[in-house]
Amino acid sequence: YDSEANIKKALRAVSLYCVFIVMTTVVAVSARHHYMYYFNHAIKRHFLIYERLVTYNEWWSELADSFLPEVLPSPQASNESVATENANSNPGVNASTASAAHKIIKLDESILLGTPRLRQLRVVDTTCGGSKSFAKHFHFICYPDYSYSDSKTTGEHIGAKYESAYHLSAMPIQGRIHTYWGGGFVQNLDRNFNESLPLIESLAQLDWLDRGTRLMIFEFTLYNKNTDLFNNVKILGEVPVTGGVLLYIQVQAVQKHAVWTGSVWIIVSAIIFYIMAMYYCVGEILVCRRSGYKKYLKNFWNIVDLVILILE
């Protein structure tokens, strides 16, 4: 900076970049809303799942007796719900019956989108090492810890076909033990409780969850019209190589049009952000054309600018 003009030019560039950072922050933060916390917290309170290690049989029992009725109310629960409404409007109805019905979890403020489904990630079997005296009890078949290279990504498992992460539009899952890639062997359930319950009982009897399983997922999506929020709910069962099922829940609230449905200030900030992002993209393209792409890529700060623009 050997002249006053160059100093002013540098200050303008820094000031403009600071404005760009502020607009980027506003747009990023606007994607989060305090209603997301309430939505997530309400679902966790509804299911009341505390992290614990359970057996295979306990996993199926929890799924059939607790989780499924909360997502797909049984006919008995629906009748009790109607009885509760009648009790509220008719004081003569038995109070204990109304109280019992009130405890049944119903998705009053949220709509179930699509159907719930079961999904599991598996690993390929290997030959057991070590003493043959012990290995013979497992028919000389062992299953390794989960890894991308050892995961099973083809074929079927007791009638459930493997579906890729791309086909399921599934993201990797950050578990307690591992990070699991998307995809898996999928068993779709029905929106009717009486149809889904026998299917779950059948899968339990057929040992759909076995030694080769490394992650079980009972997942469904809710939509809350009051807040225009979607929530992807996953009840997870991680299966460590030592046995058992680590049971816990993950919820993730998402707003489809977080920016463009926000306040005027957020919308204006988003417009400024996109204009400035386009300005910087065009600027980098012009610099690259003037200097040549080989010389451009030799400059460390040019690479930093390029990475920032790609990430945005």
Are 244 and 287 contained in the same domain? Answer: no
Are 21 and 108 contained in the same domain? Answer: no
pLDDT digits (tens, 9 = 90+) for 81-129: 444 444 454 554 444 333 333 333 445 678 888 889 999 999 998 877 7
* Own/partner long-range contacts of 92-96 (Cβ < 8 Å, ≥24 apart): none
Are 72 and 164 contained in the same domain? Answer: yes
pLDDT digits (tens, 9 = 90+) for 148-182: 889 999 999 998 999 999 999 889 999 999 999 88
> b/e per residue, 103-142, with b = 16+ CB within 10 A?
ebbbbeebeeeebbbbbbbbbebeebeeeeeeeeeeeeeb
pLDDT at residue 75, rounded to an integer: 63
Q: Which of 238, 255, 272 is the last residue of a domain?
A: 255
Average pLDDT, the chain: 82
pLDDT at residue 102, rounded to an integer: 35
pLDDT at residue 97, rounded to an integer: 38
Distance CA 10, CA 28 (A): 27
H helical segments located in 63-138:
68-71, 75-89, 95-102, 132-135
Q: Which domain holds residue 76?
A: 34-255
Are 15 and 135 contained in the same domain? Answer: no
Structure tokens at 180: 């699991």
Distance CA 8, CA 12 (A): 6
pLDDT at residue 94, rounded to an integer: 45
pLDDT digits (tens, 9 = 90+) for 44-86: 888 888 899 999 999 999 999 999 988 887 666 555 544 444 4
Are 62 and 17 contained in the same domain? Answer: no
Are 202 and 265 contained in the same domain? Answer: no
**Under the phi-then-psi rule, with left for phi > 0, alpha for psi from -120 to 50, and beta for the rest, what region is 157?**
beta
pLDDT digits (tens, 9 = 90+) for 220-252: 999 888 888 899 999 999 999 998 999 999 999
Distance CA 59, CA 63 (A): 6
> b/e per residue, 253-283, with b = 16+ CB within 10 A?
bebeebbeebeeebeebbebbeebbeebeee
pLDDT at residue 247, rounded to an integer: 96
pLDDT at residue 173, rounded to an integer: 93
| CB-CB contact of 203 with 127 (8 Å) | no
Q: Which of the four pLDDT bands, split at 50, 70 and 90, describes residue 20?
A: confident
Distance CA 121, CA 77 (A): 33
pLDDT at residue 96, rounded to an integer: 38
pLDDT at residue 305, rounded to an integer: 80
Are 20 and 38 contained in the same domain? Answer: no
pLDDT digits (tens, 9 = 90+) for 263-308: 787 788 888 888 888 888 888 888 888 888 788 888 888 888 888 7
Distance CA 150, CA 143 (A): 9
Angle at the Cα of 107 from the Cα atoms of 99 and 187, rounded to 5 degrees:
125
Q: How many domains is the chain partitioned into structurally?
A: 2
- 160 has which bridge partners? 157
pLDDT digits (tens, 9 = 90+) for 180-201: 988 999 999 998 899 999 999 9
Are 133 and 240 contained in the same domain? Answer: yes
Distance CA 145, CA 212 (A): 9
Q: Which of the four pLDDT bands, split at 50, 70 and 90, describes residue 130?
A: low
pLDDT at residue 85, rounded to an integer: 47
The letter for the amino acid at 70 is E
The alpha carbon dihedral of 193, 199, 203, 209 has a sign of negative
Are 301 and 221 contained in the same domain? Answer: no
